[in-house]
Amino acid sequence: MKENQKLDLMIKEGRLRVNAVLSDLYKLWDEANCSAPTLIGGAVLDIIECRKPKDYDFINHSSSHGMVLQDNGWELTGNTTTAMTYIKDGIIVQLLKTHPIDFDFTISLASYNPYKNSSLAPKSKGSLIIDHHSYYSKVLIPCELAFKKRKNAWSTLYRIPHYQAKGYTIPTLTYHSLLSVLGKDIDRKATCS
């Protein structure tokens, strides 16, 4: 990693450390003696790029994390096969049940945990993990299962517009490779970058 990218990521990691929503959530869980779950996905990208996240997704949690939220005024609004969703004051928190192995792109695996040591600044708290190549080049790199399972290929293709709105592109060859996982019935002339 280039020195200027390392400095840039340290600044972005700082944005995660001072985010008010994250600070409040981690304080609630810490006071209840819950281990800190890991923030993952779009909220990480949104915070480091100074956008307001539409929701906050967490992995590595237990049922006690949800109970702590409910005990502190968060309403359980959904319990599906993929996540438990809580809302308070317009803020949406999802405790994911899915494993990151099922995620669509390497950039969607961006994660942050305030209690892990930082690889960028080892003496500070907080660890931002991100695919540097994808992040700095703004190129979407599908996760491995997208090329092995039809359902993963489909969900990966479905998410492309979401990331294009954030400035990411997908190479034509990669796009066509995803289409080929779905089979010959898919029109390979769809537009992509």
Which domains are delineated in the chain? Answer: 3-136 (3.30.460.10), 138-193 (no CATH)
Cα 124 from Cα 95, distance rounded (Å): 26
Cα 81 from Cα 113, distance rounded (Å): 24
Mean pLDDT taken over the chain: 87
pLDDT digits (tens, 9 = 90+) for 8-56: 878 888 899 899 999 999 999 999 988 889 999 999 999 999 999 999 9
Long-range contacts for 162-168 (Cβ within 8 Å, ≥24 apart)? 163/105, 163/107, 164/193, 166/45, 166/49, 167/138, 168/107, 168/134, 168/138, 168/139, 168/140
| Contact call for residues 42 and 108 (beta carbons, < 8 A) | yes
Tokens of 122: 């080892």
| Contact call for residues 91 and 77 (beta carbons, < 8 A) | no
pLDDT of residue 100: 83
| Edge-first strand listing for the sheet containing 83-88 | 75-79, 83-88, 91-96, 56-59, 38-40, 111-117, 125-129
Say what the pTM is: 0.84
Does position 110 have pLDDT exceeding 90, yes or no?
A: yes
Burial class (CB in 10 A: 0-12, 13-18, 19+), 128: buried
Cα 172 from Cα 80, distance rounded (Å): 34
Burial class (CB in 10 A: 0-12, 13-18, 19+), 21: middle
What residues have CB less than 8 Å from 20, skipping those under 6 apart? none
Helices (H), the chain: 3-18, 20-31, 42-48, 63-71, 132-137, 150-164, 172-182
pLDDT digits (tens, 9 = 90+) for 120-145: 444 445 588 899 899 999 999 999 99
Residue linked to tokens 């090329």:
147
